[in-house]
Amino acid sequence: MRLVVVSNRVTIPDRHEKATAGGLAVALREALEKHGGLWFGWSGVVGSTRQLRETQRGNVTYAVTDLSEAERESYYLGFSNRALWPIMHYRLGLTEFQRSDYMGYLGVNRRFARELARMIQPDDVIWIHDYHLIPLAAELRRRGITNRIGYFHHIPWPSADTLMALPFSTTLVRTLAAYDLVGMQTQVDARNLIDCLVNLCGARTDGRRVRLGMRETAVQPFPIGIDVEAFRRLAAASVRQAATPLRATRESLGERKLVIGVDRLDYSKGIVQRLEAFGQFLRSHPEERGRVGLLQIAPPSRSDVPEYAELDRMSDEVAGRLNAQLGEFDWTPIRVVKKAYSRTALAGFYRRAQVGLVTPMRDGMNLVAKEYVAAQNPADPGVLVLSRFAGAAQQLGDALIVNPYDIHEVAEAIRTALAMPKSERIRRFEALYHVIETSGIHWWTQRYLEALTGAPAQAEVVEPPSKVDSKVEPPVRRTGRKPRPAASDRGEAKSRAITVGQKRGAPPGETAHVSFAR
Ligand code: F6P
């Protein structure tokens, strides 16, 4: 078997890559090296030539293509990041839909499928990543690709009620049936997706597998992890290194305690709310003023999307206001640093910080939470404060779990974390460390690939959406009744004797036993 990975962005590794690449990139690369493989996707460059460029590194081929300016606008900035991203993060008010963006999104997926199909070999297993590429498998199937194809969704999947607000969502969700395996971050996301497939598309399910037409797709949670041991080593080494930002922080902070936040500058991360919560903490506990500071590292992201530019402005404004109101001539309560640091530097910051403040408004998993835990000194660990709306909260119940919409609750959690006795910090750390260690990134890739390669290969074509035409959007079904299947499905269903569908009259999502007998 050869592994083919497809992701929106592909970074071709250079000599220094091991030190800078994140756990996911390294783990996928390792899986590719193990099986021999191909990594396909966008080069990250916007250019006039869209020719495929291939680079060989050992037994892995990196095949990348540039996007045209129009493709970047519609596929990446438009449909992926102004429509799918906000709606998947439950932010209906920020969701901007343009038909031309959707057309561009489908167009890039079609082009990627055309290029990729030419490179696929009979025993390849294809693993597609992220919301930019949802319809890719349907496009590949249309080109006759019958290989096993898996998809992993790195961000949350909302309820059917939320997703329905996005035009053409039913058509888009339906294309997921072209995959043999769909991986989600959490059980909640998996359940939401199954509900969407059942209630919007008329699929049947046994709770783990979904049947739509004659295709069967497994939908399962695979909570993504980090390379715990590698990150722990980085953090331990950072303490000994002389010329790191950590050393400089130590000098500038002295004995003061440190609360840390590290996030892309993205509204889903709750950065502004977090700054407000830290301000509230200092107002509620004036005795802490001058004794602790918040360092928020926030490398800019997607700055061509207006909502991100607005967040950039707002975070400066809020940090400036709070510093002016609460600071002293010799103490700045909040530092917001809008640049990226190396993983070594981040590991050092995490280790130095008494509190890791990870409070997204909604997040697929959030690996910063796991990295913060991995970086701690086991003999004197810091405390993780974690949003209940991060996927990581499903696993890391020994963190201080908070509602990021309640700045008073977050403020009190900061206080509790700073005052927590060492014995309790150690107990919580050990429990958290055990979880991240037993569900690390290598476990994740292995489990996913085992599930994908074990899945039965199926040849049936799922029609990808070919044009923006409201007639292709089937009516939404909100009852337990099955919609009338397409003629071809009716014929297949009869001859293959598929027996039970969703329970008649049952609330959406509730299903009777389903037999998938062929
Ligand atoms: O978490 C989803 C994700 O698309 C990641 O795969 C990616 O690394 C991150 O968001 C940043 O996104 P972008 O490629 O838009 O900078």
Of ligand 1's atoms, which has the minimum distance to the CA of residue 9? 14
Ligand 1 pocket member 155 (CB < 6 A): yes
Range in 25-29, 128-132, 212-216, 408-412 with the lowest mean pLDDT: 25-29
3-state SS, residue 338 = coil
Ligand 1 pocket member 302 (CB < 6 A): yes
Neighbour tally for 181: CB within 10 Å: 23
> What pLDDT was estimated at residue 477?
44
Q: Distance, CA 132 to ligand 1 centroid (Å)?
A: 10
Q: Distance, CA 436 to ligand 1 centroid (Å)?
A: 22
Ligand 1 pocket member 9 (CB < 6 A): yes
Burial of 194 (0-12, 13-18, 19+ CB in 10 A): buried
Higher pLDDT, 518 or 415: 415
Ligand 1 pocket member 130 (CB < 6 A): yes
**Model pLDDT for residues 33-69, shown as the tens digit of each residue:** 888 899 999 999 999 888 999 999 999 999 999 999 9
Burial of 58 (0-12, 13-18, 19+ CB in 10 A): exposed
Q: Distance, CA 9 to ligand 1 centroid (Å)?
A: 8
Per-residue CA distances from 70 to 74, 86, 280, 510, 512 (Å): 6, 21, 44, 43, 47
Q: Distance, CA 329 to ligand 1 centroid (Å)?
A: 39
- Torsion of the alpha carbons at 134, 131, 90 and 220, rounded to the nearest 10: 70
Which alpha helices (DSSP H) does 328-440 contain, by range?
343-352, 367-374, 407-419, 422-438
The residue from 263, 266, 363, 398 that is catalytic is: 363
Higher pLDDT, 192 or 514: 192
- The answer to whether residues 356 and 384 touch, using CB atoms and an 8 Å cutoff, is yes
- The answer to whether residues 6 and 126 touch, using CB atoms and an 8 Å cutoff, is yes
Average pLDDT of the chain, as a whole number = 87
Amino acid code (one letter) for 285: H
Is 129 among the residues known to form the active site?
no
Q: How many Å apart are CA 185 and CA 366, to the nearest integer?
A: 10
Q: How many Å apart are CA 282 and CA 331, to the nearest integer?
A: 13
483 pLDDT higher than 80: no
Per-residue CA distances from 354 to 79, 137, 445 (Å): 40, 45, 31
Q: Is 463 left (phi over 0), alpha (psi -120 to 50) or beta?
A: beta
Amino acid code (one letter) for 157: W
Of ligand 1's atoms, which has the minimum distance to the CA of residue 264? 11
Ligand 1 pocket member 266 (CB < 6 A): no
> What pLDDT was estimated at residue 496?
28
CA nearest 292: which of 414, 429, 428, 421? 414
278 pLDDT higher than 50: yes
Burial of 402 (0-12, 13-18, 19+ CB in 10 A): buried
Ligand 1 pocket member 352 (CB < 6 A): no
**Model pLDDT for residues 173-190, shown as the tens digit of each residue:** 999 999 999 999 999 999
476 pLDDT higher than 50: no
Q: Give Cβ neighbours of residue 263 (< 8 Å, ≥ 6 apart).
A: 269, 271, 296, 297, 298, 360, 368
- The answer to whether residues 210 and 216 touch, using CB atoms and an 8 Å cutoff, is yes
Of ligand 1's atoms, which has the minimum distance to the CA of residue 132? 4
Is 363 among the residues known to form the active site?
yes
419 pLDDT higher than 70: yes
309 pLDDT higher than 50: yes
Higher pLDDT, 114 or 484: 114
The residue from 129, 153, 154, 398 that is catalytic is: 154
Q: How many Å apart are CA 149 and CA 360, to the nearest integer?
A: 31
Q: How far is CA 113 from the centre of its chain?
A: 23
Q: Is 36 left (phi over 0), alpha (psi -120 to 50) or beta?
A: left
- Structure-block tokens of residue 290: 């001058």
**Model pLDDT for residues 84-131, shown as the tens digit of each residue:** 999 999 999 999 999 999 999 999 999 999 999 999 999 999 999 999
Angle of CA points 474, 476, 480, to nearest 5°: 120
